[in-house]
Every structure is written in C-alpha cells, then in structure tokens.
Amino acid sequence: MLARLNQAYPLCCSLILASMWQSAAGTWAAEKPSVAAANVTQIVAHRGAATTHPENTLAAFREAIRVGATATECDVRTSKDGKLFLLHDATLDRTSNGKGIATQLPLAELKKLDAGTWFNSRYGEERIPTLAEALGLCRGKIDLLLDLKEQGQGYAEQVAGEVRRFGDPRKTIVGVRSVEQAKLFRRLLPEARQLGLVPNPEAIDSFAKAGVEMIRLWPRWLDDKTLVPRVKKAQVKLHLNGTTGLSDEVQKLLPYGPDSISSDDPNQLIRTLKKIASGG
C-alpha cells in the first residue's frame, strides 16, 4: 500500500536521508515529510477501527480490513476455563454489559455478553471474540498484532498453538512485554515478527538483543532525543502510537522516522499519510 510510494524517490535520496540520521535524528523527516510518510509501511488499527466501531470486536477488525490497514491489534486474555479471548481491560464493565474481572468467567459466560451496545445500539449483536475467531477472520487479509496481556509458558504455548491452527504465523506480530517472553516466542513461533512493548526506555537494548524486529516508543518518551537513535542503532524498526490519525498528530510523529504507526482511526491515518506523501 503506502510502501509503494517509496518507488517515487530515487535510491540516492534514500541513502542521503539515512546518512543524515547519524547527525540529527529526525532532521531529514522534518525537511521531507513526504518521504517520511511514504516510509511508514505498517498501519496498525488499534483494537480494530476503535473510533468508528466497538473495540476488540470482529466488526472493528472487519472495518480495519475494509479501509486498508496493514495490521490490526488485539488484546489476548485467558478465560476461567482456559480459553483465549480478546479484551483490553481486565474488567468487563467498560466495553460490555458484564461486570467484574473478565478472566474469572468461563468462555460460555463471556460469550453471552453484549460487547457492542455500549458503543452504539447498532452493534448489539457483537460478542467478545475468541483469539481463534480473530485469527480466522484476519487470515489472508491483514496482519494480526497480538498484545499479550499475560505471561508464562502455558499461555505462550496456547497462543502459539492457536496461531498455527487458525492463523498464519508469517502474518502474525507478537507484542512481547518482557525479554523472557520474546525469547520464548522466538522458539515457539519463529516465523512471526515481534514488537517489543518495552516497559521503559532502558529496556530498548535488551529487547533488541532478544531479537525483536520493532520497538514501540510512547510519544511521551520522545522528549528524550537519544531514544530514536538508540532504536536505529540497534537495527530494529520503530513503532509509534497515535490515536486520531489527523494531520496535526501525524506531523508530530513523522520527524522521528517511524516505520509503523497505530491509530484508533486507521482510515483517517491512511488518508493523512497519503496526503502528506503526495505533498499535499
């Protein structure tokens, strides 16, 4: 998609831009926002198209596919009876008509809950999806980024097993939250890519050494001008979180040279990047 826009720029331009990183992180991107926009090759729909659809539902993932996002993110938890389901919060209260801690209910009870009316009454038929359902929906259509909400060998083995059974490991991105988890998934699911959801900037180097292909930096960390060069020096890609996808937000992220940006509104993010890349 947006990656094809790179072809509009000669190789020499890319080499010059890359070399300028050595002197000042983000300088080239500020001078050439169109190039920076074209180099964003991963558009991640955060919890699906969460601005326009109830988050972490199949409806939100379908919309992410429809608008042309290259990946959709989801949050993976384990039910009381050991089934993998998708929910961001630890509790059910905000995004369903249920109450209490989600992992204390068996999957059959979770499946009875309305996961859409809280957002809009037209989504009253939406239910909390299983990981298997999301993998099946996304297979062959869009990358699936798994935000792993739990740790441990058993959890990792179950996630990896479902990816192999229902999805495509090569189109799966594992969002790892510890070095140990990164190493574990590198053994269990070597074909999958990994996004290092580093707990703090000090962990950048250890996650990179563990083999993650990309590091997520929070925008609030970017006041530290040493962090992006550290990510680049580690020879891993950079992911930045956005929300609205609007021009003022995206223009603030592009100077850091991200390879990947997430948004609650992937359709708006795509439109914004296309406009910037075309010089608009």
> First and final CA of the chain: distance in angstroms?
18
Residues 6 or more apart whose CB falls under 8 angstroms from that of 120 comprise 54
Cα(280)–Cα(276) distance, rounded to whole angstroms?
Answer: 5
Tell me if 48 sits within 8 A of 60, measured CB to CB. Answer: yes
Residue 205 token pair: 């180097």
SS3 93: coil
Sign, CA dihedral 256-220-192-51, equals negative
Domains of the chain by residue range: 2-277
pLDDT in tens, the chain (280 residues): 444 434 433 333 333 333 333 333 443 344 478 899 999 999 999 999 999 999 999 999 999 999 999 999 999 999 999 999 999 999 999 999 999 999 999 999 999 999 999 999 999 999 999 999 999 999 999 999 999 999 999 999 999 999 999 999 999 999 999 999 999 999 999 999 999 999 999 999 999 999 999 999 999 999 999 999 999 999 999 999 999 999 999 999 999 999 999 999 999 999 999 999 998 7
Which CATH fold would you assign to the domain 2-277?
A: TIM Barrel (3.20.20)
